[in-house]
Amino acid sequence: MSDPSTDEEATTRRGGRHRSRLGAWGITWRVLAGLAVVVLVWASVTFYRTWSNSDGEPTNVIVATWMRDNHMGPLVAKLEDFYYQHINTPEVGGTPQLSADLTAEDTAGLDASDLAADSEGTAPLPAAGGSEPLLLTPVDRSSMPNPQPTTSSTVRTHLNPPPPIVSPVKNPEPKEGVWQPVASRVDGIPAVYVTRVRADDVHTSYYASVMWIDTDLAKVMFVPGYEEPGGPNPYDGALPKTYWPDVLANVNGGFRLDDTQGGYYFEGKTVRPLVKGKASAVIYKDGSIVIGKWGRDVSMDADVAVVRQNLDLIVDKGTSKVTNGADNVVWGATTDKESLAWRSAIGQRKDGSIVYVGSPYLSAAGLGNVLVGAGVERAMVLDMNDWWTAGFYFRHKKNGTPLCRKLDPAIQENCDRFLQRYKRDSFQFLAKPAPRPSATPAPRPTSSSSPYASASSSSTP
């Protein structure tokens, strides 16, 4: 027989161990619960801050922004990749429901007198009393290589739109790939043309919308957003109303600065050091623009007003640089895979004119191919996804009131996004005043490696 006292001692020890284990688990659960509360409070506070600072973005965009703000960018990229590959998948085959004929979209809201004044060059463009935006001050380029002859004529010189883009499908739709004049004229001359064309011969239900801008008739103004890319913000993220009668088009800027792999310079201030070899949009003080590789095509000089960098050149020397899905580190976490998403880019032709693409259901390869089809020599990727990709062009009433048109009708939110206060940066294309008599025009680019004579070499900041 067992000793009762021994049994009692054993039971006591087992009970003690049991209570000890329960106590340890209790402490652990209390610690975990406390941590959960802390995380929940932190998430609630930080998410509310992001939500309260949104510009009407949908919930999915707010959540993605919050995650990126809190160092979860790689996870967002994986989720976006999954979304585009398995949820928001494009149709294969079919024909576009969107028309390639832009006439009705371009002239909506205008009466006969508005159109007549525009075509005759009597509409108030530019209507800002000949004044220049703060960034745009005259630059004397007469001492630079290859200046054009001085002229005393006020007849406007202008560029010719590119040849039609060849569609990859066998039987293109009417006007597919054909450049059509849109937006308000400058002295009666079209400065903006748009076309729609399929990007590949598989997803044939969708157009890429492409905008061409004559840089003889338009100057460029960079407007920083009130959040991105940071640094000086003289316009509070909006195009000053003084220049609304002049605006011909505006388009989205680049990635958030943390995601660009590059730098940013604005009016004498280096917000983030510029990176040699990165794709760069360089805007000069006279409103001219060059797209190129930093340190090869473009570099710092006294005439530079803005440098916005974003990844690598997606088109260089007239050739698409997109190869395969393994290059995702070059183009961003989701921009060089087969998933078709909203994507955008800004490119430049040999004559200095600008081409912008901003459309849904584009792969990086499709984006590059459309740019090459438009004759682009160098191009820089801009922002992507269905909220941040947005391009617009403008007609004007006789009194100068701008009427906005979406480059693609599926672009979200209001058409005047980049006229109003906005958190992200934008490129604004404004009507360029006629040259004064005896003025010396800026030289044209002479080669793909030297897009403008003004892009002279200097030290990198």
pLDDT at 458 over 50: no
What is the mean pLDDT of the segment spanning 382-390? 90
Q: How confident is the model at residue 375 (pLDDT cuts 50, 70, 90)?
A: very high
Helices (H) and strands (E) in the chain, counts: 7, 18
Q: How far separated are the first and last CA of the chain, in Å rounded? A: 92
Q: How confident is the model at residue 112 (pLDDT cuts 50, 70, 90)?
A: confident
| Long-range Cβ contact pairs of 234-239 (< 8 A, separation 24 or more) | 234/134, 234/267, 236/421, 237/421, 237/422, 237/423, 237/424, 238/419, 238/420, 238/421, 238/422, 239/418, 239/419, 239/426, 239/428
DSSP per residue over 230-271, as a string?
Answer: -S--TTTTS--GGGGGGEEEEEE--S-GGGSSS-EEETTEEE
Q: What is the pLDDT of residues 127-158, one digit of tens each?
A: 443 334 444 443 443 333 333 333 334 578 99
What is the mean pLDDT of the segment spanning 377-387? 92
What is the structure's pLDDT at 446? 34
What is the mean pLDDT of the segment spanning 81-93? 72
Q: Which one is predicted more confidently, 400 or 138?
A: 400
What is the structure's pLDDT at 423? 93
The sign of the torsion formed by the CA atoms of 243, 245, 249, 250 equals positive
Gap between the Cα atoms of 175 and 100, Å rounded: 6
Q: Mean pLDDT check: name the lowest of 30-39, 123-132, 278-287, 344-353.
A: 123-132
What is the mean pLDDT of the segment spanning 431-442? 67
Q: Which one is predicted more confidently, 21 or 344?
A: 344
Gap between the Cα atoms of 430 and 184, Å rounded: 10
Gap between the Cα atoms of 208 and 391, Å rounded: 12
Token pair 């206060």 in the structure block, residue: 421
What is the structure's pLDDT at 287? 96
The domain spans of the chain are 4-87, 103-431
Q: What is the pLDDT of residues 159-211, one digit of tens each?
A: 999 999 999 999 999 999 999 999 999 999 999 999 999 999 999 999 999 99
Stated length of the chain? 461
Q: Work out the angle at residue 417's Cα, subtended by the Cα atoms of residues 415 and 421, and round it to the nearest 5 degrees.
A: 150
pLDDT at 109 over 80: yes
Taking Cα atoms as reference points, which of 335, 339, 378, 342 lies closest to residue 357? 342
Q: What does the mean pLDDT of the chain come to?
A: 80
Q: How confident is the model at residue 386 (pLDDT cuts 50, 70, 90)?
A: confident
Composition of the chain by helix, strand, coil, percent to 5: 25, 20, 55
Gap between the Cα atoms of 426 and 237, Å rounded: 9
What is the structure's pLDDT at 461? 40
What is the structure's pLDDT at 163? 97
> Are 211 and 249 a contacting pair, CB within 8 Å?
yes
Sheet holding 426-431, edge to edge: 218-223, 426-431, 247-252, 391-396, 402-406
AA identity, residue 455: A
Q: Which residues contact 308 (CB under 8 A, 6 or more apart)?
A: 222, 229, 253, 254, 264, 280, 281, 425
Helix (H) or strand (E) holding 324: none
What is the structure's pLDDT at 172? 96
Gap between the Cα atoms of 418 and 428, Å rounded: 8
Percent of the chain with pLDDT over 70: 67
What is the structure's pLDDT at 439? 46
What is the structure's pLDDT at 399? 86
Q: What is the pLDDT of residues 214-265, one digit of tens each?
A: 999 999 999 999 999 999 999 999 999 999 999 999 999 999 999 999 999 9
Q: What is the pLDDT of residues 35-58, one digit of tens each?
A: 777 666 655 665 556 566 666 666
Q: How confident is the model at residue 115 (pLDDT cuts 50, 70, 90)?
A: confident
Q: How confident is the model at residue 444 (pLDDT cuts 50, 70, 90)?
A: very low
Calculate the alpha carbon distances from 20 to 16, 28, 31 in Å: 6, 12, 17
Q: Work out the angle at residue 274's Cα, subtended by the Cα atoms of residues 272 and 275, and round it to the nearest 5 degrees.
A: 125
